Amino acid sequence: MRGNMISGSLPSSLMNLSYLKILDLEKNNLIGIIPPWIGIKLTMLKILNLRSNNFYGHTPNQLCYLSHIQVLDLAHNNLSGNIPRCFNNFSVLSGIETNLEVQFSFHFDVGFLIVGELLVMKGREDTYGSTLGLVTLLDLSSNNLSGQIPSELTTLHNLQSLNLSRNHLTGKILNKIGDMNSLESFDLSVNYLSGELPMSLSGLNFLSSFNVSYNNLTGRIPTGTQIQTFNESNFIGNKLCGAPLTNDCVHVDKPDTTSDQKEDDGSHNVDWGLIISIALGFIIGFGGIVVSLMLNRSWRITYFRLMRKLIKGCFVMSFFVIVKPASRWSFF
């Protein structure tokens, strides 16, 4: 029922379709929350596609009961909150269940029909028919999801496409992301992720589509068989360096010649800060005394009397030092 103008919320009567394998309602006008009964009642689902609707609220943890799920596409909605940590319950995506259907088909008296599904992988939309049963995809992009990427996602060893782009995710990219060795498409662009790219990314040998642009990532791009083949635009909007970017990570320390100059000639290194501090202190102190004397008459009279006595005493002492022999005034 994709690509129609179906509105309203999902009817509860759908929960009676307990053997349903594919539910595709992409590109409609559906609203409301994703009902928890999808995970409780429709446990045989292999493909759940609710892309491009108006669903809001949190992603229900009950979806984790869909242990046979191979394609879960909730992109382009208004979902909020954290990514459920229980997604490691997906036994097909984690590799616990290996009995995959190569194709979805219906048999009739006059032949059979192969089911095709339009999916977005590696940044493009393609129709998968005879190989649909081999596709594994998790797409939560273009929502309002927040928080960190749950570490449980790294246990999805059979996942081929992971798209978490255009959300509000924070924190670091998981160090064990390299354990997802089946990844062919990985998109974390336009989030608020920070830290460095984990070195384990270099071990993703099947990766053919990769994008971490417009985050807060820093440091060197890991060197690997695949990472350096991607376009520079897949890394922009960060503070990364190294191939395939043009800015090199090599940092050359400039020799510190300041200490050598001080040892050679200390007269060339004038401490202007000290000089300015002394000058300001003198001006403020002297100015304070002058202003006080000008404003207070009794202080001014006392000050000049004291200065007169000091000048007179210095004159008398100088006279005795010059005229009398030094031995006569040894008590000084």
CA distance 39 to 10: 14
Domain that holds residue 295: 272-329
**What Cα–Cα distance (Å) separates residue 65 from each residue in 18, 41, 92, 210?**
13, 9, 12, 29
- Distance between alpha carbon 256 and the CA centroid of its chain, in Å? 35
195 in the same domain as 290? no
Structure tokens at 289: 């005394």
259 found inside a domain: no
- Give the pLDDT score at 312: 62
Q: 43, 65 in Cβ contact below 8 A?
A: yes
Instruction: Give the DSSP per-residue string, 83-96.
Output: PPGGGGG-HHHHTS
Q: What is the pTM of this model?
A: 0.72
Q: Kindly list the averaged pLDDT for each block of 10 residues, start to end, along the chain of length 332.
A: 94 94 94 96 94 96 94 96 94 83 61 68 74 87 96 94 96 93 94 94 89 94 83 92 84 50 47 69 64 63 68 56 47 40
CATH number of the CATH domain containing 41: 3.80.10.10
- Give the pLDDT score at 317: 54
Query: Where is the domain boundary, 202, 220, 241?
Result: 241
Element (H, E) at 193: strand 192-196
- Give the pLDDT score at 31: 96
266 found inside a domain: no
